[in-house]
Structure 1
Amino acid sequence: MPESRSFHEVVRNRRSVRSFLPTALNANLLRAVADDARHTPSNANIQPWQVHIVSGETRNRLSRAMLEAEAKGRMTPDFPFSYGEFYGPYRERQKAQGAAYYQALGVAIEDFDERRSTMLKNLEFFGAPHVCLLFMPAFHSVRIAGDVGMYGQTFLLALEAHGLGGVPQTLLGFFADTAREVLGIDPAMKMLFGISFGYPDMTSAASRYRIEKAPVDETVTFHH
């Protein structure tokens, strides 16, 4: 177990890692992260998350299947998503993140081929030996998705606390049918997103770059 750290340190040191070492976590460490994450709160304690942690050859099959589906234009998201809905500060933050990431990798904005190659690394899980896929029952309530989002955040903080790294990936949710087919998951379970994780490769610019968060006064209103 790593030396215990304060929550203040863990939450501020966590970053989205996009390059990993191939070293797999042992079974005890995988279970320890999942055991931390299960303490996530949820409405009425229903704990709606159905979590699939994929490793080894199954992870490789899933990656190949997602890459094949993408090449065929076969995207099957369970939930709608479009950057076109973003406006104002939300659009500006999204653009700033993309620009910072590609700049850190030395990829020119006009280099479409290299940008596409970089995008496809999502479906290779950025080289991570493990990926966590978050599913939920098909309840017609955005509040249930909020519970699953809280699970994802707890999982990410647990990774950081154990000296690991992870990255939440909306794009993985665009291949929900592919994931269900490869993993034999009930179609009634709907996929929200995934988290690739493992030991960060800190020699890579994809892991070292940081993006600034908005200051408190930009997103929080205090009422007295």
Structure 2
Amino acid sequence: MIYNGDTPVSRAQSFHDVVRSRHSVRSFLPTPVPPSVIRSVVQDAQHAPSNCNTQPWQVHIASGATRDALSKAILAADEAGHISPDFSFSLDDFHGVYGERSRAQGAAYYQAIGIAREARDERRTATLRNLNFFDAPHVALMFMPVVGDCVRVAGDIGMYGQTFLLSLTAHGLGGIAQTMLGFYAETIRAVLGVDPSMKMLFGMSFGYPDTNSAANHYRIGKASIEESVTLYD
């Protein structure tokens, strides 16, 4: 069915544009997003698919004073060496082409913001911007219940996160999924009062992109579909 004069082609093109214009934003304006717009984004994300329609995501969005207190607590935890991930993660675990892609992304980012490979202090400062949410006025923290080995639930959370990010793009906003925030799960639970039974997978900082920032002007290439997809006749 075609409504409001739209054709299937124009609808597909609109989706095409949103998917391909979405990128990880690493510098934001301080301007808060209106609550009505945030609500529209989470309403979109709520339509993400999940195993048996379980909808296992528990999302905590921090803004204003809560956002600032959270960043302060995470930075203090990092300074104290208090790392508390619920799930393991190490860049060293990526082997072969996966490691190559990871290193290429890092090299492109640091080149874009003008930080040399050997400038360790500057790289450390850039990394810590994760913990200040890249100056974004909002951050969404993605929690999940423990079900079996958690793999299926984590997949559901990923689909929710992607839908959230695409909705941000469609609303003229930007966001970035941050595994690093998950390294401070215990700290984040304490600040937000989240039940310990809920495990944190990742966070997403979001807001209005700072279009003047060099961090938002680089793009990383995607693998060809031949590398990822096998088609059968």
TM-score range, shorter chain: over 0.9
Aligned partners of 1:149 and 1:66: how far apart in 2? 23
1:37 aligned to 2:45? yes
TM-score (norm 1): 0.97
Q: Give TM-score scaled by structure 2 length.
A: 0.93
| CA distance, structure 2, for counterparts of residue 196 and residue 180 of structure 1 | 17
Q: What is the RMSD computed on CA atoms of the aligned residues?
A: 0.9
> Residue in 2 aligned with 1:179?
188
Task: Measure, in 2, the Cα distance between the counterparts of 1:11 and 1:64.
Answer: 33
Match of 2:107 among 92, 96, 99: 99
Distance 2:37 2:152 in 1: 30
Q: Note the alpha carbon deviations across 1:32-72, whole angstroms, 9 max, x for none.
A: 11111000010000000000011000000000000000011
2:23 aligns to what SS in structure 1?
Answer: coil
SS in 1 for 2:33: coil
CA distance in 2, matches of 1:7, 1:75: 39
SS class of match (1:110): coil
Query: Within the alignment, does 1:156 sit opposite 2:165 as a pair?
Result: yes
Which protein is bigger by CA-based radius of gyration? Answer: 2
Q: What SS does the aligned partner of 2:66 have?
A: helix
Q: Please list the CA deviations of residues 1-58 of structure 1 after superposition, one character each: whole Å capped at 9, or x if unmatched.
A: xxx9710000000000000000001110110111110000100000000000110000
Q: Secondary structure at the match of 1:98?
A: helix
Matched, 1:220 2:226: no
1:129 aligns with 2:110: no
| 2:23 aligns with one of 15, 22, 39 | 15
Residue by residue over 1:68-118, the C-alpha shift from the partner in whole angstroms, topping out at 9 and shown as x without a partner, is 000111110000111111111000000000000000000000000000000
**Aligned counterpart for 2:199 among listed residues 169, 177, 190:** 190
Gap runs ≥5 in structure 1: none
AA matched with 2:116: A
Amino acid at match of 1:213: K
Shift of 1:155: 0.2
**What runs of 5+ residues in structure 2 fail to find an aligned partner?**
1-10
1:166 to 171, 175, 188: 175
1:61 to 69, 86, 100: 69
Deviations 1:121-165 (A, max 9, x none): 000000000000000001123011000000000000000000000
Deviating above 4 A after TM superposition, structure 1's stretches of 4 or more consecutive aligned residues are none
Equivalents in 2 of 1:168, 1:48: separation in Å?
Answer: 18
Measured in 1, the distance between the counterparts of 2:60 and 2:186 equals 14
Per the alignment, residue 111 of structure 1 pairs with 119
Amino acid aligned to 1:25: V
Instruction: Find out whether 1:211 has 2:233 as its counterpart.
Output: no
Deviation at 1:222, TM superposition (A): 1.0
- Deviation of residue 203 (structure 1)? 0.2
Does the residue aligned with 1:167 lie in a helix, a strand or coil? strand
Distance 2:140 2:217 in 1: 22
For residue 138 of structure 1, give the secondary structure of its aligned residue in structure 2.
coil
